[in-house]
């Protein structure tokens, strides 16, 4: 970015200082940014400083479409709903084929939502909750079926430590958190891979696996010859959920019809490699390409350019944190863009671009006018660091408290799993009916 050089006197060239020169110089990069499901880093400059993730680069390199005011206006026109704050404020940074889903919605043609989580720990943090919060809103806006996949098999394959039992337990625990995000229970199907891979779903997994070569997976995910083969195979599983034919119990058994029902996938940007693969071969397999909404990460307490980590307690606010824990973490660890002293703060103001409490408010505070007022007061030095932290704490506590309330009222894990069993039975019964139906048809012919 060009340095912001202002002439000292009108008509005179600006004075160059060390500072402006340094700002104007292109950054020398020592390590490039990496964003894939297994590694997320903005890269490192020559001085060893971690760089923020460049989301535009992802749009440039991988051909996603940046979100635009036009498509947000169209979303509002078509659904009659103000776009969610995560959409209004750029956290949904890009998309693939959202316009096509809006076309379908306008014409009353069906589609479904698909999202998921890799259950790698017992507890989820507020960063994990953001794509689910967006999905909840989209389900309300489109009033459509939603499928939520828990990839316990993926986490088992990718971790040295996680056992199958661990992964299944994480699935169960996480499913309770996810359900408490507030989806329409009548239109939501949540499953764990270890429990659900079978039947039509497994048939699709195999069909997709047959279309993918080792070379393609190596190129997309950076695996090599010493990577276990489970990792090579798993992308077929994640892709199969993007085909409606995997879920006859939801969409019916007629594959010729259901293969024309596409899905819209809200996900964190690091999941894009999976779905690029999927989109590349969907049409060859006579299915519709999935559409995507990409989200950026909620930064860790330590600052922009990072993401919350479930294994680093001080980096994240957990959905199970008590009000006091939230307060202490924000006060103690949240990276501040404020000045060192109150005097300097009044003179120079706070830097909202790097201030974590302000960044969090953009994710959690709904009221646009209130957010703008906070921004102006903080940047102008009217508001102190302690004050913006206190406001941030209030909204985080509110979000987490509402979540915990729903979680308390929600289903137990046993109920969730029983429901899954019921669904499996239903699917089997439907399949049986179909087979005997086919037989009758043959006999008639």
Q: Does 308 bind ligand TRP (CB under 6 A)?
A: no
Report, in Å, the least distance between residue 372 CB and ligand TRP: 31
Q: Is 246 in the site for ligand TRP (CB under 6 A)?
A: no
Cβ at position 370, least distance to ligand TRP in Å: 31
| Residue among 37 and 303 whose Cβ is closer to ligand TRP | 37
Binding segment (CB under 6 A) for ligand TRP, from list 28-36, 255-263, 264-272, 339-347: 264-272
222: nearest Cα among 232, 213, 209: 232
Is the CB of residue 299 less than 8 Å from the CB of residue 307? yes
The reply to whether 267 sits near ligand TRP by the rule CB under 6 A is: yes
DSSP 8-state class, residue 50:
B
SS3 264: strand
Residues of span 3-42 touching ligand TRP by CB under 6 A: 37
Q: Which of residues 197-236 bind ligand TRP (CB under 6 A)?
A: none
Q: Number of helices (H) and strands (E), helices first, in the chain?
A: 21, 11
Piece in contact with ligand TRP (CB under 6 A), picked from 19-27, 72-80, 146-154, 317-325: 146-154
For ligand TRP, the binding residue among 121, 151, 171, 246 (CB under 6 A) is 151
Q: Does 271 bind ligand TRP (CB under 6 A)?
A: yes
Q: Rule CB under 6 A: which of 336-355 touch ligand TRP?
A: none
Which one among 83, 118, 357, 410 touches ligand TRP, defined by CB under 6 A?
Answer: 118
Quote the CA–CA distance of 313 and 257 in Å, as a whole number. 47
CB 381 within 8 Å of CB 347: yes
| Nearest distance from C-beta of residue 367 to ligand TRP, angstroms | 28
Phi and psi at residue 173, to the nearest 5°? -60, -45
Phi (first) and psi of residue 136, to 5 degrees:
-55, -45
Could you say whether residue 171 binds ligand TRP (CB under 6 A)? no
Q: How far apart are CA 308 and CA 123, in angstroms?
A: 12
Nearer to ligand TRP, 127 or 349 (CB): 127
Does residue 121 belong to the site contacting ligand TRP (CB under 6 A)?
no
Among 42, 43, 83, 116, binds ligand TRP (CB under 6 A): 116
Q: Exposure string (b/e) for 225-256, b if CB count within 10 Å is 16 or more?
A: eebeeeebbbbbbbbbbbbbbbbbbbbebebe
262 binds ligand TRP (CB under 6 A): no
Q: What is the CA radius of gyration of the chain?
A: 24
Angle separating helix axes 229-240 and 199-211, nearest 10 degrees: 120
Q: Which of 97, 133, 153, 154 binds ligand TRP (CB under 6 A)?
A: 154
Please report how close the Cβ of residue 138 comes to ligand TRP at its closest, in angstroms. Answer: 12
**Residue placing its CB nearer to ligand TRP in the complex, 172 or 383:** 172
What gap in Å lies between CA 172 and CA 170, rounded to an integer? Answer: 5
* Nearer Cβ to ligand TRP (115/192): 115
User: Considering the complex, what minimum distance in angstroms separates the CB of residue 116 from ligand TRP?
Assistant: 3
What tokens does 66 get?
A: 């940046």
Its sign, for the CA torsion 225, 230, 235, 236, is positive
| Euclidean distance between CA atoms 31 and 11, whole angstroms | 41
What residue ranges bind ligand TRP (CB under 6 A)?
A: 37, 114-118, 149, 151, 154, 238, 265, 267, 271
């Amino acid at each position: 970015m060009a340095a912001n050089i202002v002439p000292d006197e009108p008509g005179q060239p600006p004075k160059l200082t060390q500072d402006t020169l340094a700002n104007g110089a292109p950054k020398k990069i020592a390590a490039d940014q990496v964003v894939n499901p297994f590694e997320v880093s903005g890269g490192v400059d020559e001085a060893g400083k971690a760089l923020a993730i460049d989301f535009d680069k992802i749009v440039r390199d991988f051909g996603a479409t940046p979100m635009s005011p036009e498509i947000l206006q169209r979303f509002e026109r078509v659904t009659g709903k103000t776009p969610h704050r995560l959409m209004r404020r750029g956290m949904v940074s890009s998309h693939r084929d959202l316009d096509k889903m809006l076309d379908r919605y306008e014409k009353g043609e069906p589609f479904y939502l698909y999202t998921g989580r890799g259950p790698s720990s017992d507890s989820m943090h507020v960063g994990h909750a953001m794509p689910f919060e967006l999905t909840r809103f989209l389900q309300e806006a489109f009033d459509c079926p939603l499928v939520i996949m828990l990839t316990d098999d993926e986490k088992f394959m990718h971790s040295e430590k996680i056992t199958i039992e661990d992964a299944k337990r994480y699935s169960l625990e996480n499913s309770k958190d996810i359900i408490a995000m507030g989806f329409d229970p009548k239109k939501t199907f949540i499953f764990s891979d270890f429990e659900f891979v079978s039947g039509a779903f497994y048939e699709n997994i195999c069909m997709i696996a047959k279309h993918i070569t080792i070379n393609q997976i190596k190129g997309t995910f950076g695996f090599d010859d010493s990577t276990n083969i489970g990792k090579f195979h798993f992308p077929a599983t994640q892709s199969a959920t993007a085909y409606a034919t995997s879920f006859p119990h939801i969409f019916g058994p007629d594959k010729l019809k259901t293969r024309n029902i596409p899905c819209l996938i809200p996900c964190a940007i690091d999941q894009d490699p999976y779905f690029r693969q999927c989109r590349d071969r969907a049409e060859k397999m006579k299915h519709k390409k999935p559409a995507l909404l990409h989200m950026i990460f909620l930064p860790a307490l330590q600052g922009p350019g990072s993401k919350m980590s479930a294994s680093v307690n001080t980096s994240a606010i957990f959905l199970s944190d008590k009000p006091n824990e939230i307060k202490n973490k924000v006060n103690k660890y949240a990276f501040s863009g404020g000045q060192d002293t109150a005097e300097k703060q009044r003179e120079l103001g706070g830097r909202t671009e790097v201030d974590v409490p302000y960044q969090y408010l953009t994710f959690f505070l709904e009221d646009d006018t209130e957010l703008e007022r906070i921004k102006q007061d903080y940047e102008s030095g009217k508001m102190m660091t302690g004050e913006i932290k206190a406001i941030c704490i209030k909204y985080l506590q509110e979000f987490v408290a509402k979540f915990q309330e729903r979680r308390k009222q929600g289903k137990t894990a046993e109920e969730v799993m029983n429901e899954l069993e019921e669904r499996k039975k239903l699917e089997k019964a439907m399949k049986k009916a179909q087979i005997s139906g086919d037989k009758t048809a043959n006999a008639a012919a």
